[in-house]
Structure 1
Amino acid sequence: MTTVTPAPAPVSTGAAATDVEQRGFAVSSLVLGLVSIVAGFTFVVPVAGLVLGILALRREPSARTMAIWGIVLNGVMLAGVVIAGLAAAVFGLAMLPFLPLVFV
């Protein structure tokens, strides 16, 4: 009569959990890019999203597509903010000579 010992249970390495955790910067960059489109022209949100996207490219190779989309969205919105700010400054300086005529 022999006894059979059961095989040890497979040990979970947690690969699925670490894969989800490693996409945090990329997801944050993508979400901030979408929020900056919806929320309008801000300066801080696209800069934060751009930084997170660049960090995600370096640290998270599995989330490369999301990181690239976050960088693109945040870069476009940041360029829009800069262009709109420069246009407002030029328009304001161009209208400066006409300021006394407005308050007459």
Structure 2
Amino acid sequence: MYQLNLVELSVSDFLNNYWQKVPLLIKNGFKNFADPLSADELAGLAQDEEIESRIVSCEGQQWDMQTGPFDDFSQLGEKNWTLLVQAVDHWHPMAARLIDPFRFIP
């Protein structure tokens, strides 16, 4: 379903010259990318006790981190925080398909 476009790089060039050597930004690596899960689905995963999640936020210069599960996101506002959910590929089959284009990486 997803196919990685390395633009003008071959897989061999990528592995030999970039992988674990220097940073590389691949713009539009997935043409016409559509996120396989919505923000609501991600938030739903973060409510599950079996799934590791955390919220990282910053107010002024003060960073904070909370661990899930989370029941309510309303107090967080629209900016200065992010929700991290571990191992989404284990819980969401469509998100798991995002790993396939990278199987060439050792």
TM range (shorter): under 0.3
Structure holding more helix per residue? 1
TM-score scaled to structure 2, two decimals? 0.21
Asked which structure has the greater CA Rg, the reply is: 1
